Amino acid sequence: MIEARYHDRVNVLQALNGACGDAPAPFDRAEWYQLLADSGLVPLIAIASDDDASAALALTEERGHITPLRNWYSFTWRQLAPAGAAGDALLTQIARQLKQRGHRVTLEPVPDEDGSATRLAAAFRRAGWLVEVTPCDTNHILDVKGRSFAEYWESRPGQLRTTLKRKGKKVETRIITAFDPALWAEYERIYAASWKPAEGNPAMLRAFAQSEAAAGRMRMGLAYHQGTAIAAQFWTIEHGIAYIHKLAHLESHKHLSAGTTLSAALFQHAIDTDGVRIIDFGTGDQAYKADWMEGTRARYRIDCLAPFAPRAWPPLAKRVLRRIGTARAAKLA
């Protein structure tokens, strides 16, 4: 018999992470969800268990609309469940119980290279939700394929290689693996003066960097010109994957292309020193990422509506009208 229940504290996920195997990404760990809760998000942790296993969805809820416990720092969001039919049954029970908590569940950005989007959509359909799956974002990645950095670099666009050759000697780079408050302050100064929008939650990002450094996973790069830091990047390394979380440079020194030089140094360190298999550039389909990466992966939105909940009828009507419009446009094309 499967029992479903809810919690408003994320510490219940600590034991679950171990039961489901190693978390596949930083954004699947109980510690990550704790950082989100500490930042002000209100957790709704939905758990289903039987005699042998447990599964969970880390969620939050507002006025009956249930969404993932995540923010803009999260590259992905996915289920925390054991593989196989047993885990699928637990997810289905969670989805069934959620109809008592809300009229709509919107899950994003869910990967599917591991089958997560397919698995979650199937669970919610089995539970009686009306489910729509659509791409919502793009993830650029590099599959290293056993190459050295030099071999990888030979395949980069000529303009990128020329930029590094011409300007690489004008800046000095430094890569650190231990958290240093003074150097983190340099990163925050550069970010604040860069072209980037205001940092969403600097305290959370700093706390994440500290915990990743303590676990030996942090890689932070700084580029200097005449003793002044003008570019910074924050990466982490885990399970053979390098995650590029943040990068920024001073617009006042854009002519030095310090960001390119610093990226090359971090790519070389990740490939040749850390021996990573994959470099993950997060979400966003910015054109410059294609210069560095060789592949893309879709991220999906799984929008689930409860058919008998009156509050779900307006978005359901919009969905139906949108599909009719798409079908008409396809006939006219």
Tell me the pLDDT tens digit for each residue of 78-126. 999 999 999 999 999 999 999 999 999 999 999 999 999 999 999 999 9
Same domain, 272 and 307: no
d(CA 109, CA 103): 20
Residue 165, Cβ neighbours under 10 Å: how many? 9
Together in a domain, 12 and 130? yes
* Mean pLDDT of all residues belonging to the chain: 94
Query: How many domains does one find in the chain?
Result: 2
Name the residue with tokens 């039961």. 19
Q: Domain for residue 281, yes or no?
A: no
Q: Is residue 86 part of a domain?
A: yes
CB-based contact 278:240 (threshold 8 Å): yes
Residue 21: the pLDDT is 52
User: Is 308 part of a structural domain of the chain?
Assistant: yes
Q: What is the rounded distance in angstroms from the CA atom of residue 52 to the CA atom of residue 300?
A: 30
**One domain, residues 103 and 169:** no
Clarify whether residues 169 and 47 are in a common domain: no
SS3 59: strand
Q: Are residues 187 and 208 in the same domain?
A: yes
> What are the residue ranges in the chain where pLDDT is below 50?
none
In a domain, 289, yes or no: no
Is 93 in a helix, a strand, or coil?
Answer: helix
Both 155 and 204 in a single domain?
yes
Contact 96, 44 (CB under 8 A): no
Whether residue 292 lies inside any domain: the answer is no
Domain range for 266: 145-276
Contact call for residues 55 and 47 (beta carbons, < 8 A): yes
Is 259 domain-assigned? Answer: yes
**Residue 293 within any structural domain of the chain:** no
127 in Cβ contact with 95 (< 8 Å): yes
Look at residue 4 in the predicted model and tell me its pLDDT. 81
What would the pLDDT profile of 141-173 be if each residue is shown by its tens digit? 999 999 999 999 999 999 999 999 999 999 999
Per residue in 127-151, is it b (16+ CB within 10 Å) or e — as a string? bebbbbbeebbbbbbbebeeeebee
Query: Which residues, listed in sequence order, are joined to residue 177 by a DSSP beta bridge?
Result: none
pLDDT score recorded for residue 15: 74
The answer to whether residues 245 and 310 belong to one domain is no
Domain assignment of residue 110, yes or no: yes
Say whether both 161 and 39 belong to one domain.
no
Same domain, yes or no, for 251 and 268?
Answer: yes
Do residues 172 and 264 both lie within one domain? yes
Q: Are residues 108 and 223 in the same domain?
A: no
Does 195 lie in the same domain as 74? Answer: no
| Residue 281 near residue 293, CB atoms below 8 Å | yes
Compute the half-sphere exposure of residue 37: CA atoms within 13 Å on the CB side of its CA.
19
Q: Write the CATH number for 202.
A: 3.40.630.30
* CATH code where residue 33 lies: 3.40.630
